[in-house]
Amino acid sequence: MDVNILLWLKAGHLISLFLWIGGLFAVYWMLRLHAHAPTEAHEKLTLMERSIALSADIAAAIAIGTGVAMLFQPHGFYLAQPGAGWLHIKLTVVVLGILPVHGMLRARIKRFGMGDFKPVPQWLWTLFLTAMTVIVILAIRGPLMFAPKMVDTPAATTPSN
C-alpha cells in the first residue's frame, strides 16, 4: 500500500472516530434526559436520538473499515509485525468496550421508541469512558511501550576500521 493512501486512511479513521464517539456521547446523554422528559417531548427526542445514532452507525462503519484497511501497511500485515501487541489490546478494547456500548444504546433507543423509558445505567458510561481512556493511551503510548527492544551486539558497539 502506498504511504499517501495510508495517510488518507488515517485521516478518514480519525475523522470518523471523532464522529462515532461524539455520536455515542450525545445519544447516551439524550437517553439519560429522555427518561425524565415530559410525555409530549418523547416522540421528538426519539427522532433526534435515532438520527444521531444513525450518523454514529455510519461513522462507526467508516472507522472500522479504514482501521482494517490500515492493517495492510507498506511493509506487510501490521498485526504480524514485532511490537504490534499494543494494537491487539486496542482492538480487543474496541470489541469488548465500545461496540457493546454502541449496541446497548441502539437497543435502548428502540425500547424508548416503544414506550419503555427505563433510565440508561450508569455503568454503561463508566465502561465507555474506561474503554476510551485505554484506547487513547494505547494509540499514543502503545507503539513506544511495545516497541521491540534493540539488542546490543558486539558488531554494533565496536567501531569499524
Q: What is the pLDDT along the chain (161 residues), one digit of tens a residue?
A: 688 888 999 999 999 999 999 999 999 999 999 888 888 888 899 999 999 999 999 999 999 999 999 888 767 777 778 888 889 999 999 999 999 999 999 999 999 888 888 889 999 999 999 999 999 999 999 888 888 775 555 555 555 55
pTM confidence score? 0.84
Query: Distance between CA 21 and CA 129 in Å, rounded?
Result: 10
- Cβ pair 13, 78 in contact under 8 A: no
Where are the domains positioned within the chain? 3-148
